[in-house]
Amino acid sequence: MAALVETAAGKLEGNEEDGYLSFKGVPYAAPPVGPLRWHPPQPMEPWDGIRNAKDFGCIPPQLFFEADPDNEVWAALGTIGGSGEPQSEDCLFLNVYTPALDAGRRPVMVWIPGGGFHSGSGSAAFYDGRTFAQRGDVVVVTINYRLGALGFLNLNEITGGRIPATGNEGLLDQVAALEWVRDNIGQFGGDPDNVTIFGESAGGMSCGTLLSLPGAKGLFHKVIAQSGASHQVQPLHKAVRVAERFLEVHGLSADDTEGLYALSEADMIQTVFAMQPKPGEGADPEMGGAPMRPVIDGEVMPRHPLDAVADGYADGIPVIAGATLEENRLMSALRPDLMTLDDTGLLAELKNSASWQPDAVVEVYRAARADRGEGTTALDLLNAIETDRVFRIPSVLLTETLRDRGQPAFSYLFTWRSPLLEGLFGACHGLDIGFTWGTHEMSPAFCGSGPEADRLAEGMQDAWVAFARTGDPSCSTVGEWPAYGNERETMCLGVAFEIEKAPLDRERAAWTGGVPDWVIGWI
């Protein structure tokens, strides 16, 4: 059945299905094409008549993951990879799932997808909002934002302002989507005064960064940051070096703005991947391990997000932050060369991933894991350290920073393990997504199945909805979930829901004093 709704820009016709309504491919800003490439998002033009909102819009330009049929691991992951959705620079769309078009003023949950700031979209199959809408009686919004060189390349400095890109255009897209939610979500049965942003990986990192962004102030009221926090940003001088390298690859000068605007989407996508450090190779210390990521430009992002949080900028915004227990096992499983890693290779890998001296940290992890009866092979240690360096420790630092300000923060550790390839992936990066959305049944080989898997999915959804509604994730399914305090109370989400005090605390203490920018990197 068709469903009609009036927005500030015009009427939309969506789908009315069993117990929920959906509106897809809804534009929230003008198409950032032609002369608007690399500019902040601009207001869209209203339309006459009724706009079709039954189908997803184009996704941002990106390189799809393609499974290698000759590699058992890649072939297995191919069952959960992306599909060939239409791509275009005209990609600033969002999707809305709601129980009813009424004055219900339901909690609103806005999903920011991950993908390393160079891939992903709000229309990915795992992000189906119907379960949240039906089970939680909430309004769900999933968004697209510009990626790679179109969303996170600072050209303002190198072109003397002729191209005003700060390297935060992707973040500004997220802000524009939240402004759309503020102005329109009441028409979809949502409450614009009770908006929770949530996301995983680069989406979680975006959430942690938006906590500090002046342009996002007041547009959301709660945050759930999954496998990402407030650290994945880069200083301006590194962003300038990235821009210089980008021009070098294309043989362009800083004065050739016409040449930059003439670059094709495909050329830019290939360049972004060419600039990424290759597995086993060291990152360029002048650019870091993730060349395309948000930039501390002094305007859109005035300073490091965690510094802003420490000074109270995010006060009054409850936060859930956490990680999976074995994030890095996804990355290492895709590298057969690591299966024979020795201690010498371990130190080399760690030095490649970030310019630091990891010897002391390795010994802390080796001793702590041995005392708990856990594996201490070189690969075990690599996975544990990289999991913490990139994902868990930034989440811990965010929750501790909020705790020290007396602000409500809740910590979790996702411990469920994937059964795929006899458990090769463990509790790896991205495994939590299917349980968050109740879409785990789409990939039972990866996520697992059965009553325990269903219970985990129900518990995560109930806790996320309870938090969106009240700012407290405690609920009947997972039980009491205390705020992160001096005992470092952490909810373990797995076969059971259990509060553990100070999990993996010896490893956490190895990073005491914070994590310098040159240590935090990207795999």
The structure tokens listed for 224 are: 């759930």
For residue 407, what is the DSSP state?
-
Nearest CA to 185 out of 5, 319, 10 is that of: 5
Cβ(320)–Cβ(414) below 8 Å: no
Nearest CA to 447 out of 422, 419, 423, 426 is that of: 419
Which of 118, 221, 231, 429 is labelled catalytic?
429
CA dihedral 65, 71, 73, 78 (to 10 degrees): 30
Strands, E assignment, 177-279: 190-200, 222-226, 234-235
State how far the Cα of 195 lies from the Cα of 467, in Å rounded to an integer: 11
Q: Is 2 helix (H, G, I), strand (E, B) or coil?
A: strand
3-state secondary structure 294-349: CEECCCCCCCCHHHHHHCCCCCCCCEEEEEECCCCHHHHHCCHHHHHCCHHHHHHH
Which of 22, 201, 206, 227 is labelled catalytic?
201
- Tell me how many degrees the CA angle 512-515-517 measures, rounded to the nearest 5: 160
Cβ(149)–Cβ(93) below 8 Å: no
Nearest CA to 441 out of 430, 429, 457 is that of: 457
Q: Is 154 helix (H, G, I), strand (E, B) or coil?
A: strand
121 catalytic residue (yes or no): no
The structure tokens listed for 118 are: 């160079």
Nearest CA to 332 out of 276, 270, 385 is that of: 385
Composition of the chain by helix, strand, coil, percent to 5: 35, 15, 45
State how far the Cα of 277 lies from the Cα of 272, in Å rounded to an integer: 10
The structure tokens listed for 19 are: 């117990």
440 catalytic residue (yes or no): no
Cβ(24)–Cβ(95) below 8 Å: yes
> For 103-137, b where at least 16 C-beta lie within 10 A, e where not — what string?
ebebbbbbbbbbbbbbbbbbbbebbbbbbbbbbbb
State how far the Cα of 387 lies from the Cα of 511, in Å rounded to an integer: 13
429 catalytic residue (yes or no): yes
Residues classed as catalytic: 201, 327, 429
